A = this chain, B = another copy of it.
Amino acid sequence: MNVIEELRATVGAAHVLTEGDLSAWELDWRKRWRGKALAVVRPGSTAEVAAAVRACAAAGTAIVPQGGNTGLVGGGVPDDSGRQVLLSLQRLNRIRAVDAANLTLTAEAGCVLQTLQTAAAEQGLLLPLSLAAEGSCTIGGNLATNAGGTQVLRWGNTRELCLGLEVVTAAGEVWDGLSGLRKDNTGYDLRDLFIGSEGTLGIITAATIKLAPQPAATTTALAACATLQDCVALLGLARSRLGAGLTGFEVMNAFSLELVAKHFPALPRPLPGAPWTVLLEQSDTEGEQQARVRFEALLEAALEAGHVHDAAVAESLAQSRALWHLRESIPLAQAEEGLNIKHDISVPVSRIPAFVAQCDAALQRRWPGVRLVDFGHLGDGNLHYNVQAPAGADGARFMAEHEHAVNTVVFDCVAEHGGSFSAEHGIGSLKRGELALRKHPVALKLMRGIKAALDPQGLLNPGRVV
């Protein structure tokens, strides 16, 4: 039997696709990578995943695992050789358990994030992972890429939310490492090695995720700051006054909100003209009134200290949503304005002002008039520091001609400030060259050693990460 026949015998012929339009799996959702799979295989259980991996291992066939296919770095689609099996986890979509007293949820890799959020909410609990793709991304993909999102300031990345994993190894064995334990010091931390390894060390088939009680109220406020240094000072003040109640701290430069105003003129402009606008989110265990009082006291102190020159607290849930909507409209406004060069970088929070000043200047020197769309999760030190062509220039042409050089300027500057060229999106195939170039050589050696130890045939998502 050849490998396709083996796979059919393993997961059922109906779940081994080789013909017709397979672009749902072969093409990434932003349409930047199109591959050609030997077959799309859709196992229905962990045992079937293991059997499929054993069949591929016996045949020396490479496997590309895929969740919701919402990744941004080309880590989840096959190459164009027609020789890689695309292994979709989408049929592993059972919620195995919700344990309210232990604040945990155990679910299979193919569960859509939003489905899990809803299952938690039905028991009055919060699954504190939230990102733009939550309606279609899967928890397996979130774990494989250690996804970030908008709740990291309070709850950490996906890694910090995971207590245990079930994983199929490169040999097709099943490691049952599902765990509802907050403390377990029995050997090496295999869990965190698989999390963020983008399917190159093993295939995550299920996980136990931490939950939290739902907050009684969530409110937002906006603050206008003269400088990024003021934004950082406001962050410090907000952290010490609100503690863990501070669940969001997003920053937006003037140009990013000007783009929103230009392309979506119907949206409100609560604090027009501010060089920097901060969106704060507070979650409270007591109630909305309480939260608003605390926000007002914080912002008054920030005004007095001179960190802020204007501020507004949302007076209703609808107003809160409208403020978040402004923030979320920036990428859409950017797209309306034309193609642009996107980044997903992080530096220590304390170095953000110096980084932005230095990098803005370096870009302006080389490409006078270039426009910077600076916004992102300041509380995590994570900026989407995007570069738009000078006004009137052709965005597509600017990007084609200068993307690599712009990236080099930005990443060099990030490195000077002790930062990361991929804060939350991962490496995939897109940034593999960057990794080889920029990662500490000893780290690269350690990673390659681990890859060779755990996947000696090199069949798990080859060409990704290391």
Contacts and interface: CB of A to CB of B under 8 A. Distances in A.
Interface in A180-217: 180-190, 192-193, 195-197, 201, 212-215
Contact of A380 (B124, B159, B179, B182): B182
Taking residues whose C-beta sits less than 8 angstroms from the other chain, chain A's interface range is: 35 or more
Contact of A175 (B145, B201, B431, B440): B440
Contact of A232 (B101, B180, B420): B101
Nearest to A201: B188
Given A160-B160, A189-B196, A285-B243, A181 B454 contact: no
Interface stretch (A265-273, A314-322, A333-341, A441-449): A441-449
A215 B241 CA distance: 9
A157 B191 CA distance: 15
A159 B184 CA distance: 11
A174 interface: yes
A104 interface: yes
A177 interface: yes
Contact of A382 (B183, B346, B349): B183
19 contacts: A102-B349, A104-B348, A169-B442, A174-B442, A180-B348, A180-B381, A181-B418, A183-B377, A183-B420, A185-B422, A185-B425, A186-B421, A186-B431, A186-B435, A187-B427, A187-B435, A187-B465, A188-B466, A449-B453
Given A124-B240, A186-B435, A188-B201, 19 more contacts: A99-B350, A104-B348, A175-B443, A179-B420, A181-B420, A182-B382, A183-B380, A183-B382, A185-B196, A185-B422, A186-B427, A186-B431, A187-B466, A188-B465, A189-B195, A189-B196, A190-B447, A241-B285, A243-B284
Interface of A: 99-104, 124, 145-146, 148, 152, 156-157, 159-160, 169, 173-177, 179-190, 192-193, 195-197, 201, 212-215, 232, 235-236, 239-245, 283-285, 346-351, 377, 380-382, 418-427, 431, 435, 438-440, 442-447, 449-454, 465-466
